[in-house]
Amino acid sequence: MSNTIAAALGTPEIIIILVVVLLLFGGKKIPELMRGLGKGMKEFKDGKDGADNDPVEPNRTNTNKPL
């Protein structure tokens, strides 16, 4: 039995799950949850790819003369 969860769920099951999620969180909270999920996935992908390294500015010499 190598069935995945996605293969085991049909259209009626997905609709029931969506209705339950809507009832639990409400219509206003769902976009906030999805936005947070998207940001989390982006941060994870950036961290995995090493994109979180800030570009280093070249060293600048101090041209001010001491008083």
The pLDDT of residue 1: 46
Convert 28-60 to b/e letters by CB count within 10 Å (16 or more is b).
eeeeeeeeeeeeeeeeeeeeeeeeeeeeeeeee
Q: Express each pLDDT in 31-52 by its tens digit.
A: 888 899 899 999 999 888 875 4
CA–CA distance, 59 with 56 (Å, rounded to integer): 9
DSSP 20: H
Q: What is the pTM of this model?
A: 0.44
CATH of domain 9-49: 1.20.5
The pLDDT of residue 60: 62
Q: Where are the domains of the chain?
A: 9-49
DSSP 9: -
CA–CA distance, 67 with 56 (Å, rounded to integer): 30
